[in-house]
Amino acid sequence: MNGPAIWAIYKYEMFRFFRTLMESLASPVISTSLYFVVFGAAIGSRIEQVEGVSYGAFIVPGLIMLSVMTQSISNASFGIYFPKFIGTIFEMLSAPINFLEIVIGYVGAAATKSLIIGVVILITAFFFVELRIAHPFAMLLFLVLTCLSFSLFGFIIGIWAENFQQLQLIPLLVITPLVFLGGSFYSISMLPPTWQVVSLFNPIVYLMSGFRWSFFGAADVGVGWSLLAIAGFTALCLGVIWWIFKTGYRIKS
Amino acid sequence: MTAIVDVDNLTKTYDGGLTALSGVSLRIEQGEIIALLGPNGAGKTTLISALCGITSPSSGRATVGGHDIVTGYRKARAMIGLVPQEVALEPFERVINTVNFSRGLFGRRRDDALTEKILRQLSLWDKRRARIRELSGGMKRRVLIAKALVHEPRVLFLDEPTAGVDVELRRDMWRVVEGLRADGVTIILTTHYIEEAEAIADRIAVIDKGRILLVEEKTALMTRLGRKTLRIDLREPVEAVPASLADYDLELAPDGRSLSYHYDTRGDGTGITRLLQALAAAGLGLRDIQTTQSSLEEIFVGMIREGAA
């Protein structure tokens, strides 16, 4: 393992984040605050409690997940796509490092950034609603695993993308709908029975349910299933990355 | 002398079917400066990319410092510095950060004294806090060189280092190259300018269509490259070269209207004066004379013919 090289990539990527700290943090914080105002205060005041929790508090895990997932994907995909786009990737390829070390550097940095954003949103939430976290360690575990797996996924998108449009395609067409339909702002049990069954095919439902359980102790699906889903997703991403590593797909001719 | 770079039958065929390297073998001695000379698309950059790990060779093997570039890539690449042909730098980064990043990427601890020394050598020290996008084209090239040198490579690849570069940078660069040579660093540069190869290289390898046509000491090659042709158009066509001109090894055109004479500009005497006198003595009237220097392409063709003969 070339530790100094991983550290160099990680540090370099984190510098980019801190260089634009205000932009990086302001947008998720502002959009989350808007969600609280619209969903929590305006609409939420007309909604009864969901699963014994006020609606404003109920949507907190969903809001954090929504931001963390999209931020992980965009950070990691942009992180590796940008050197490909401007040509500086040659330096990675000619350095005495292997692909795994490149992945650890980039994905580690992307996951750290979205973790910071997730925590900032959580802190913001405390200003708007009364919140109690039932299982703090499980909450942290779910949060970290989500940051990691979706950063891995973003890394794959960044390698795959050949232009900026493709970079936006998967997050817009796949992730955002799945997150919205994945019970971020409601409990699956509020859906008609048919749609409840359909929802079970949405992987995000499992992540959301587990994360919400760590806050309120109530879940749509079993916590075990949630952990299994996130482990499976991480394994799938690692598998794809291993294949990219073996074949040099879209990075090395 | 030991070979620090040893390329053995290296072949690269791209997925599209283009063969950029076909069976390249080359031994580069430690501490020498070798120029890879060849036209655009000859395979110069592909050879460098394969040795540096940017493309994977299709077959054959190569070692750098005795380390195989595939199985021992860490040790091999740690010895290599690469200045690419294209300027590829992150526009928003500061000069000093991107240079330090390169050193880290090669697994080396930060060394501020060394970074300062390299930046000063390349007249970049005053610009160290500047962002890349604020720099001129020439300055960006200097940054690329600094990035390639900061991990103290033993083998330096310079891919078309002077393409589009001003005189001042060229001078600075050759000064740096001289310093590196004094430290025993091996330098491999690609170029399609004969003059450039002539100016700094010890040996020259001519490459075309993915093959090494020859590797020669510079002085020997320059003699060959110094040949010119004098064409003499005659007033009246002749059927054969007159016997009195037999010593000059003249070539008669098929239509009998012109004679070609090959000579060496670097020789002690070109023989042109004597030839012209002999032509007059033989009673041949001249309509026109012109001289041509073989272009690089013609030289390559000549070399392929010589190789085949």
The structure tokens listed for B255 are 């239509």
Chain B: closest CA distance from residue A86 (Å): 6
- Is 1.10.260.40 the CATH classification of the domain at B3-223? no
β-pair partners for B27: B6
Where in chain B are all domains bearing CATH 3.30.70? 227-308
Q: What is the pLDDT of residue A197?
A: 86
pLDDT in tens, A120-143: 999 988 888 888 899 999 999 999
Q: What is the pLDDT of residue A196?
A: 85
Please answer yes or no on whether B105 and A248 come within 8 Å at the CB atom.
no
Q: To 5 degrees, how large is the angle CA B248–CA B253–CA B256?
A: 100
The structure tokens listed for B213 are 């046509």
Nearest-by-CA chain B residue for A83: B90
Q: What is the pLDDT of residue B79?
A: 96
Burial of residue B239 (CB within 10 Å: 0-12, 13-18, 19+) is exposed
Domain ranges of chain A: 3-247
Chain B: closest CA distance from residue A27 (Å): 21
Q: Is A91 on the interface with B (CB under 8 A)?
A: yes
Q: Is B52 on the interface with A (CB under 8 A)?
A: yes
Please answer yes or no on whether A86 and B82 come within 8 Å at the CB atom.
no
Count how many pairs of residues, chain A against chain B, have C-beta atoms within 8 Å: 76
Nearest-by-CA chain A residue for B73: A96
pLDDT in tens, A1-26: 888 999 999 999 998 888 888 888 88
Q: Are A126 and A215 in contact (CB under 8 A)?
A: no
Residues on chain A touching B76 (C-beta within 8 angstroms): 96
Cross-chain CB nearest to B107 (options A4, A93, A94): A4
Where residue B66 falls (left for φ over 0; alpha for ψ -120 to 50; beta otherwise) is left
H/E stretch holding B36 reads: strand B33-37
As a CATH number, domain B227-308 is 3.30.70
Q: What contacts 24+ positions apart, CB below 8 Å, involve B14-17? A: B14/A253, B15/A253
Please answer yes or no on whether B97 and A15 come within 8 Å at the CB atom.
yes
Q: What is the pLDDT of residue B297?
A: 58
The structure tokens listed for B265 are 């500009």
Residues of chain B with pLDDT under 70: 1, 222-225, 294-309
Chain A: closest CA distance from residue B298 (Å): 32
Please answer yes or no on whether A82 and B55 come within 8 Å at the CB atom.
no
Nearest-by-CA chain B residue for A84: B88
Residue A251 and residue A90: Cα distance in Å, rounded?
Answer: 9
At residue A207, φ and ψ (nearest 5 deg) are: -65, -45
Cβ partners under 8 Å of residue B90, min gap 6: A82, A83, A86, A88, B98, B132
Cβ partners under 8 Å of residue A4, min gap 6: B104, B107, B108, B109
**ipTM score of complex:** 0.86
| Arithmetic mean of pLDDT over chain A | 88
* Among B51, B55, B83, B105, the residue to mutate for chain A (most A Cβ within 10 A): B105
pLDDT in tens, A61-107: 988 998 899 899 999 999 999 999 999 999 999 999 988 999 999 99
Q: Is A244 on the interface with B (CB under 8 A)?
A: no
Residues on chain B touching A15 (C-beta within 8 angstroms): 97
Q: What is the pLDDT of residue A188?
A: 83
Cross-chain CB nearest to A90 (options B54, B106, B109): B54
Q: What is the pLDDT of residue B169?
A: 85
Cross-chain CB nearest to A91 (options B55, B78, B102): B102
Q: Is A15 on the interface with B (CB under 8 A)?
A: yes
Residues on chain B touching A8 (C-beta within 8 angstroms): 101, 103-105
Where in chain B are all domains bearing CATH 3.40.50.300? 3-223
Q: Which of residues 137-176 of A touch B (CB under 8 A)?
A: none
pLDDT in tens, A165-189: 988 888 888 888 888 888 888 888 8
Q: What is the pLDDT of residue A203?
A: 85
Which residue would you say has higher pLDDT here, A51 or A6? Answer: A6
